[in-house]
Structure 1
Amino acid sequence: MRCLRDGRLTLPRRPQASQGQNAIPLTRGHLRRYDAARMAFLFTMMHGEKMVDCEISSTALDDLDGVKGTWPHQREAQFVRLREVVERVASCVFKSTPAAGRIRIFSKHVRNL
């Protein structure tokens, strides 16, 4: 899987089994909550046995969804609807910066998807 091309994030449509176990380094974890103070949805992913804390900004979620101004009480449903692509973005961000403590997804990561 190629995540960065010309400095921009690119995603394959779906991970391919032939690419091996490292194609998507992270697997699905748990939903946490929408943090209104951070304006980000918090979730986890797994890297082997290790839990990785992740967050995606509300602006990035809206960019993926093609909308603006989603209400805080609608964020969980929005995240669930977009979960597959959010997790692929998180995997690509992790692959490009695996030493980072928390994966933070911003609008710049999803703008051109």
Structure 2
Amino acid sequence: MPLTSGRFIGHEQDRGIIQFSMHDGAKEIPCAISTSAMDDLERGPQTRPEHREAQFTRLRDRIETRAASKYSACEFEGTPPGIVLRSIDFRG
């Protein structure tokens, strides 16, 4: 079953990440993307903290496509296991 969109959880400025979730059926999959990866995707200046949710929304399709790819490849990290996206995940 393909992953589907979940919820935006929040911006953790001190860790430099956006947390969000995706769903595999009824199972919620924790996910995160670095804010530097999002800035690299937009190829612009660093986004201000108060604009991170809007930036995530603009990039959501690309972010979720890559998260689904890592999920299919079983590239989990952390406890509980989840998907973490960095700039390198969008190169190539």
TM-score normalised by the chain length of structure 2: 0.88
Equivalent of residue 84 in structure 1, options 43, 61, 78: 61
Preserved CA contact (<8 Å) 1:30 1:44: yes
Instruction: Measure how far apart 1:98 and its partner are.
Output: 5.5
Distance of aligned partners of 1:99 and 1:72 in 2 relative to their CA distance in 1, 3 Å threshold: closer
SS of residue in 1 equivalent to 2:23: strand
Preserved CA contact (<8 Å) 2:21 2:30: yes
The count of aligned residue pairs is 89
Q: Unaligned stretches of 5+ in structure 2?
A: none
| Partner residue, 1:19 | none
Larger Rg: 1
2:6 paired with 1:26: no
Q: Unaligned stretches of 5+ in structure 1?
A: 1-21
Equivalent of residue 68 in structure 1, options 34, 45, 53: 45
| Partner residue, 2:29 | 52
Runs of 4+ in 1 over 4 A off after TM superposition: none
Identity of counterpart residues, as a percentage?
A: 35
Distance 1:107 1:36 in 2: 17
TM-score normalised by the chain length of structure 1: 0.73
Question: Cα RMSD between the aligned structures?
Answer: 1.4
Preserved CA contact (<8 Å) 1:54 1:104: yes
